[in-house]
A and B are shown apart, each in its own frame.
Chain A
Amino acid sequence: MQQTLEDFFKVVRSAGVNVSIADSIETCKTVELVGYSDRGILKDALALSLAKTQDEKEKLYECFDQFFSFDAFQKTALIDDEKASAEKPSTESQPVEEKMTAEQAMAEYSGDLELAKMLLRKDKAELAQSMKKAAREVGITDIWLFTQKGINTQKIMNEMGLRELNQEIALLGRGDCPAERALAGALRTAQKYLFQEVRNFVEQQLAMFGKTASQKIHEDFLKSSRLSNIEKHDFQVMIKIVRKMAKRLSSIHSKKRKRKDRGKLDFRKTLRSNVAYDGVMFNIFWKSKVVDKPRILALCDISPSVSSYSRFLLLFLYSLSDVLDRIDTSVFTNSLIDVNDIFEEYPVQKAVDKIVNELGMGGSDYGNTLLDLKNDYMDKIDNKTTVIILGDARNNNLAPQTEVMKLLYQRAKRVIWLTPEMESFWGTGDSEMLKYKPYCSIVKECNTINHLEQMVDTILKVSAQAA
Chain B
Amino acid sequence: MKDLYEDTFQSVEDIQQQFELHNYICSRQIATCTYIAYNLQKPVMVEGPAGVGKTELAKTTAEILGVPLVRLQCYEGLDESKALYEWKYGKQLLYTQLLKDKLSEVLDGATGLRESMAKLESHDDLFFSEGFLEPRPLYQALREEHGCVLLIDEIDKSDHEFEAFLLEILSEFQVSIPELGTLGAKIKPLVFLTSNNTREMSDALKRRCLHLHIDFPDEKLERRIINKRVPKLSETLRGEVVSFVQQVRELDIKKAPSISETIDWAKTLLLLHTEHLENQVVKETLNVILKFEEDIDAVNEQLTQFIKKAQLKKR
Contact = CB atoms under 8 A, between A and B. Distances in A.
Given A41-B12, A280-B93, A33 B36 contact: yes
- In the complex, which of the residues B32, B33, B212 has the most CB atoms of chain A within 10 Å of its own CB atom? B32
Interface string B38-68: 0110100001000000000000000000000
Interface string B224-263: 0000000000000000000000000000000000000000
B32 A34 contact: yes
Contacts of B28: 40-41, 44
B93 A48 contact: no
Interface string A18-60: 1010110010011001100010110011011101111001000
Contacts of B35: 33-34
A20 B40 contact: no
Contacts of B36: 30, 33-34, 45, 48-49
A41 B206 contact: no
Given A49-B210, A53-B211, A44 B40 contact: no
Interface string A332-364: 000000000000000000000000000000000
Interface in A268-285: 277-278, 280, 282
Contacts of A255: 160
Interface string A60-79: 00000000000000000000
B211 A51 contact: yes
B2 interface: no
- In the complex, which of the residues A34, A38, A52 has the most CB atoms of chain B within 10 Å of its own CB atom? A52
Contacts of B42: 26
Contact of B93 (A22, A34, A47, A277): A277
Contact of A44 (B33, B160, B203, B207): B33
A40 B13 CA distance: 12
B89 interface: yes
Interface string B178-220: 0000000000000000000000000100110011110000000
A48 B212 CA distance: 6
Nearest to B97: A278
Nearest to A49: B210
Contact of B207 (A20, A30, A45): A20
Chain A interface secondary structure, helix, strand, loop or mixed? helix
B40 A30 contact: yes
A389 B298 CA distance: 46
Nearest to B44: A48
A20 B207 CA distance: 9
B29 interface: yes
Contact of A48 (B32, B89, B160, B207): B32
A22 B207 contact: yes
A231 B203 CA distance: 34
Nearest to A260: B161
Nearest to A32: B40
Contacts of A47: 29
Given A44-B33, A45-B32, A52 B211 contact: yes
Contacts of A22: 207
Interface string B85-112: 0000100010000000000000000000
B207 A33 contact: no
Interface string A229-256: 0000000000000000000000000010
B206 A52 contact: yes
B33 A33 contact: no
A383 B68 CA distance: 58
Contacts of B160: 255
A41 B32 contact: yes
B39 A277 contact: no
A29 B32 contact: no
A280 B211 CA distance: 46
A26 B160 CA distance: 25
B101 to A, nearest CB: 18
A277 B89 contact: yes
Nearest to A283: B89
Nearest to B45: A52
Given A41-B12, A54-B47, A282-B89, A48 B40 contact: no
A48 B33 contact: yes
Interface string B18-41: 000000000011001101100110
A33 B32 contact: no
A55 to B, nearest CB: 10
B207 A23 contact: yes
Given A26-B42, A44-B28, A52-B203, 4 more contacts: A18-B203, A41-B12, A41-B32, A53-B211
Interface of A: 18, 20, 22-23, 26, 29-30, 33-34, 38, 40-41, 44-45, 47-49, 51-54, 57, 255, 277-278, 280, 282
Interface of B: 12, 28-29, 32-33, 35-36, 39-40, 42, 47, 89, 93, 160, 203, 206-207, 210-213
Q: What are the 9 A-B residue pairs with the smallest beta carbon separation, nearest first?
A: A52-B206, A44-B32, A48-B210, A44-B29, A54-B213, A52-B211, A48-B33, A41-B32, A33-B39
16 contacts: A26-B42, A30-B36, A33-B35, A41-B32, A44-B29, A44-B33, A48-B29, A48-B32, A48-B211, A48-B212, A49-B211, A52-B207, A53-B211, A57-B211, A57-B213, A277-B89
